[in-house]
Structure 1
Amino acid sequence: MVRLARRDLRDAVLDSARQRRGATTEDLGLPGPVGRFYVNERLTKTNQDLFRKTRAAAGIHGWRFVWTKRGRILVRNKPGDQTRRIGSEHDIQEIIGQYTV
């Protein structure tokens, strides 16, 4: 786990990691067995729960895209649709639809 001191550096690392999805330890020149690595944004406990519920509702209703960026939860139904921000359970119900978790 790595904690970065500056937001701009954190955002640059996350953006770079998103562009290189599927990278392996070999790509970084690290010794040992080759394996994929992942870079994830740390969310508050509240946002972790909200993200989990958003993903569950999106799966039920066929929404294809749920992701986080700079601590915000974002959704899009299909490519080309408007990106919507989820800030509460009420937003999930209003934007995506009813869910049960």
Structure 2
Amino acid sequence: MPKKTRSQEESQTLSHALTGKLNLLEAAIQEVREGQTDIVRSLSFLDEKFEELKVTTRRLEKDNEELKAKNKSLDNQVSDLHHKVHDLDQYHRRINLELAGIPESREESPLVLALKVAQCVAPSLKESDIDIAHRLGAPRAGADRRPRSIIVRFNSRRARNAVYDGRKKLKNVTTRDIGVHGSANKFYVNENLTSVTRELLGIVNVERKKAGFKFVWTVNGKIFVRKDEKEPAIIIHTKDDIKKLK
């Protein structure tokens, strides 16, 4: 075999070196390709999970909307029941009246006082027209010495309405005129309202004064206000209706 020249040896060495480099490069490229495959698989996995998450999110959103609708329906039912209970409560009070501002005494007879007030308005009324009369609640203690109201339950709407509708006749009548000793105090005939309506009436009374409305009154548990004698009456059902006074 002929002896290799130096040039041939260098060429062979360079060829071997290049082959090694190419092998390393090919291995690196293969590793990158395998890495890309893993990335593609990971991205595909993440994409599947993302789609599953979107489906789950849409289902949860749908469930949430259904729950909101059910909750709103339940709220409406509860509100409707509250109104029915309130209306029933007020209906049971339809033949009642309250007498406010009459001083208390140990010897008093609320029934006699109620009858005297009733006869100031409708002289034809008799004791038999009144079912029962008594002071409301427990005696007040401490600095609050205001007299408790007398609640009067009549035996008919006719008798009750005769007193309530004629209450303007009591404008110049005082507690002395119905046999109460002491100073001559004004007293008032009011409807027997539910706690809800009573609270609303208190708020309306404050706001109507601010708005310059002269009159406020109730009829069958409903609140009315009027700016003056010439203006029409406004009915107040809820706190939102107070905006009508602005």
Taking structure 1 as the reference length, what is the TM-score of the superposition? 0.78
Return the TM-score normalized by structure 2.
0.35
Check conservation: 1:11, 1:70, Cα contact below 8 A: no
**Cα separation, 2, equivalents of 1:31 and 1:77:** 35
- Residue 32 of structure 1 aligns with an amino acid whose one-letter code is H
* Residue from 181, 192, 197 that aligns with 1:32: 181
1:51-66 to 2 correspondences below 5 Å: 51-66=201-216
2:192 matched residue in structure 1: 42
| Greater share of helix | 2
Structure 1 residue 57: deviation in Å?
Answer: 1.1
Q: CA deviation at 1:31?
A: 6.0
Deviation digits for residues 27-48 of structure 1 (CA, Å, limit 9, x no counterpart): 34x2633533322221111110
Give, in whole Å, the separation in 2 of the partners of 1:31 and 1:78: 34
Structure 1 residues 8-27: aligned runs within 5 Å = 8-27=158-177
Structure 1: distance between partners of 2:207 and 2:175: 34
> Aligned to 2:171, what secondary structure does the other structure show?
coil
Q: What is the CA RMSD across the aligned residues, in angstroms?
A: 1.8
Q: Deviations over 1:37-73 (max 9, x none)?
A: 3222211111101111111111111111111122211
User: 1: distance between equivalents of 2:245 and 2:212?
Assistant: 9
Residue equivalent to 1:96: 245
Taking structure 1 as reference, are residues 27 and 77 closer, same or farther at Cα in structure 2, changes over 3 Å only?
same
SS of equivalent to 2:217 = strand
Number of residue-to-residue matches in the alignment = 95
Give the structure, 1 or 2, with the largest relative contact order (CA under 8 Å, sep 6 or more): 1
Unaligned 5+ runs, structure 1: none
Out of 218, 232, 239, the position equivalent to 1:68 is 218
CA distance in 2, matches of 1:18, 1:44: 23
Question: 2:232: which partner in 1?
Answer: 82
Answer with 1 or 2: which has the greater Rg. 2
Tell me which amino acid in the other structure corresponds to 2:227: N
